[in-house]
Structure 1
Amino acid sequence: MVTLNFIVDQLTAEVPGGIGRYTENLAREVIRRAPHDCDVAGITSFVSDEQRSALLDRLPGLESVRMSRLNRKMLSQAWRRGMFTNSFGGGLFHSPSLLAPLRPLESGDPAQVVVTIHDIVPWTHPETLTPNGVRWHKAMLKRAWQYAAAVVTPTHAVAEQVAELHDFGDRLRVIPGAASPDIQLPDEAAQHDIAQRFQLPETFILAIGTLEPRKGIDRLIQALAQPRLQDAQLVHVGPEGWGEVDLSSLCAAAGVDRSRVRNLGYVSDAELAVVLDRATVLCMPSLDEGFGLPILEAFKAGTPVVHTDVPALMEVSQGASLHVGLGDEATFVERLSIALSNVLGDSELRETLTLAGQDRQPIYSWAYSADLVWQLHADL
């Protein structure tokens, strides 16, 4: 029996985030689609018995959960320095992030280690991370260049960016994500209750993400100040603040009435499904992204999308959305407001975008991604 050691540590983080969602969905399908002579074990830092049981419940079919004696912070710093990389022995390892026991082959039990890098934000927008976070990502990517059997990216766009940082040759592979199957509409009564509780407007722009600068939420709020969007309402899913920035200060700076911008904070999968379903348009005004999962989630919900021409977003959407170029900074806010106004005011355009998105979304599936994981390790 061959065991694939899948690093599921992100699921134990205080805020699992997008990588946590990627980890859970990919791990489920990797387990479900394992070849008949293979099984999957979970690898984590030190966790409580309750956390260990929760992982087994969340990932049905997981053969076991193997724990380090180090907590999450200590393990990430140890592996960054090349320490305790033999603690789980040899064999096959797959990490849905850069956290992995990367080491020279001659250092102990031979191991085939594959890691994942979702974007190069630590290089392009280091101000959105802590200094320690930036140093950790840069050090781990360098270790991956030295010791990883392969490096996975979610898009060809990110693969090209990573190749400019280090020459990985043919070790770079693209394995995309997909819309989460957990984001499903509840029954009609629950939908009504959620919409009432959130006081969702009849027509609104939806934005998903933190307020960090690269997400561009500040410029989306500036677009609301344009005359053509003077009546538009924005619903934001995610934390209301980031650092010293919050929605109230962004609205004040843009001259936008704060009542036009509603923050929902963190929401459940069912709540997100309702918000996506009722949104008139999803907007991703990002300066940089590695994949663009909200686009696929909006496509699945039948919601039109407007986003920037970030290469990864263009790759995911493939013409099934409207995009606004980042090139001319001076006119970006105005052009964003035009694109959003066109969608809000044109039912035929919305219908066209909805159909295009629903045709595009099924191309991405976690089953396909899991098959690519098994094929990659077989090839190696």
Structure 2
Amino acid sequence: MLDFIYYPVSFILWCWHWVFGKVLGDNNGAAWALAIVFLVFSLRAIMFKPFVKQVRSMRKMQEFAPELKKIQKKYANDRQRQAAEMQKLQQQHGFSPLGGCLPMLLQIPVFIGLNHVLRSFGSILPNGQPRTENYFFDQHGVESYNAATIFGAKLNNFITEPAASLGTVDRGSVILVAVPLMIAASIATHFTARHSVSRQNAAAATSQTAIMNKVTLYLFPLGVLVFGAFFLIGLLLYWLSNNGWTLMQQRLVYNKIDKEEEEKKTEAVEKRNALAPKPGQKPTRKPGTAAGSTAGSTAGTAAKSSAAPKPGQKPAAKPAAKPAAKPGTKPAATKPAGQAKATNGSRAASSDEVPGLISDSSRSKKSGRKKP
């Protein structure tokens, strides 16, 4: 049913056992233990890029967590609208919740596949015969795994295993190997969760976040320590190496992202300082401002400054206002002085140019004769 998981897991395990078996021997327990450890390293290396995306997604989520709080508070009574607004906000910020959970979800089928493959080494077929093949392992590989021991315990043994299935293996040897692995795996799980929690934004923390932090910090490590008694020694090796890799990877990735963000901040500050005017530098004319308008404004300022009275100078006297007309009198028709002068001048000019057309004041207007 899950052969698409079992075959890849068994193939990677077969490859690493072939490598270490050439050095330490096929039936050596250390060769099989190293094969399991490097199986974990290989799978985690494949999932390195998704892990980086997960960290970046978590950082983005922490940045707009206050906005999520506002949405939750605003639509507390409308769950459907709340979910729609949160999804819209996540799309605007480019955050994908699935991308943050993908690396953790991918580890689940790997754990299930390795557990099935390791247990299949010592399983019995329906006809009552021991298994001679196990996916990519042939009969020689199955016999080699079943014969390998570490300090007297086999990789398929566990502390609570029934005495009938232990066979010639002493339970004390199983406890001697399994308990240190359980403690080490529990400590590694705690420090991995502790490092992850320390990178969270305290301002964006919620009550649900606080509960999850306590679960990952204390409940998961305690679960490994308690339920480790039911885990195969090979699975305990897997759990220890997986958490050890996660802790190392978290430190490297978080330090790298911190350096990138610090470089971006430094570049932004340098760019801002480069655009800012230097001390003592005159402000430059804004682009799009015409030179004429600048000159006009300068001339207008100069004219205003020249019109202003100098210190100690008396202000110029204003022209006297004309007396107001008395009531009942018509205002005298006034002609402009220039117009009157122009009329007299035109008469004189016409008398000089055309003789005989001069109007004599001594003639009578009616008869045209001269007065006596």
TM range (shorter): under 0.3
Structure number with higher strand proportion: 1
TM-score normalised to the size of structure 2? 0.22
Higher helix share: 2
Instruction: Mark the structure with the bigger radius of gyration.
Output: 2
TM-score for the superposition, normalised by structure 1? 0.21
